[in-house]
């Protein structure tokens, strides 16, 4: 089955700790995205990557970091610099330059206390 996997589904961390969220896709898609979802605010773009070893900041990149060493993997690190890290995080991918729709993973709910 082709798709996007995000792990874990639920993640709990103490304030001040960095945490890495996993995103893997076996769709052979070129582009990958990370979004943050908060109630009533829709989806906000954190980072995106159109090709391996290249990525760009989205609208709310502060306090986050990413890497794209492999086409199928796009991990997101939530650093201690992120002031309000508790949220639902969604990873998505897109086929390539000629397409526009994105396909989403199941999400990771991060709770920081």
Let me know: does 64 contact 47? Beta carbons within 8 Å.
yes
Choosing from 26, 53, 56, 111, the residue that interacts with another protein (CB under 8 A) is: 56
Interface stretch with another protein, choices 12-20, 66-74, 77-85, 97-105 (CB under 8 A): 97-105
Q: What binding mask, one character per residue, do residues 6-35 give for another protein by CB under 8 A, x or -? A: x--x---------------------x-x--
User: In the 3-class helix/strand/coil scheme, how is the chain assigned residue by residue?
Assistant: CCCEEEECCEEEECCCCCEEEEEEECCCCCEEEEEEECCCCCEEEEEEEEECCEEEECCCCCCEEECCCECCECCEEECCCCCCCCEEEEEEEECCCCCCCCEECCCEEEEEC
Interface stretch with another protein, choices 12-20, 40-48, 65-73, 78-86 (CB under 8 A): 40-48
Choosing from 21, 25, 34, 48, the residue that interacts with another protein (CB under 8 A) is: 48
Can you give the binding site for another protein, defined by CB under 8 A? 4, 6, 9, 31, 33, 40-43, 45, 48, 50, 56, 58, 88, 90, 92, 94, 97, 99-107, 109
């Amino acid at each position: 089955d082709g798709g996007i996997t995000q792990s874990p589904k639920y993640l709990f961390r103490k304030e001040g700790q960095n945490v890495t969220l996993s995103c893997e896709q076996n769709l052979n898609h070129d582009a990958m995205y990370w979004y943050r979802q908060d109630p009533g605010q829709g989806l906000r773009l954190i980072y995106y990557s159109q090709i391996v070893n290249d990525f760009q900041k989205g609208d709310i990149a502060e306090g986050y970091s990413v890497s794209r060493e492999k086409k199928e993997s796009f991990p997101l690190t939530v650093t201690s610099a992120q002031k309000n890290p508790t949220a639902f995080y969604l990873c998505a991918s897109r086929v390539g330059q000629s397409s526009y729709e994105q396909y989403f993973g199941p999400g990771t709910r991060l709770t920081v206390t």
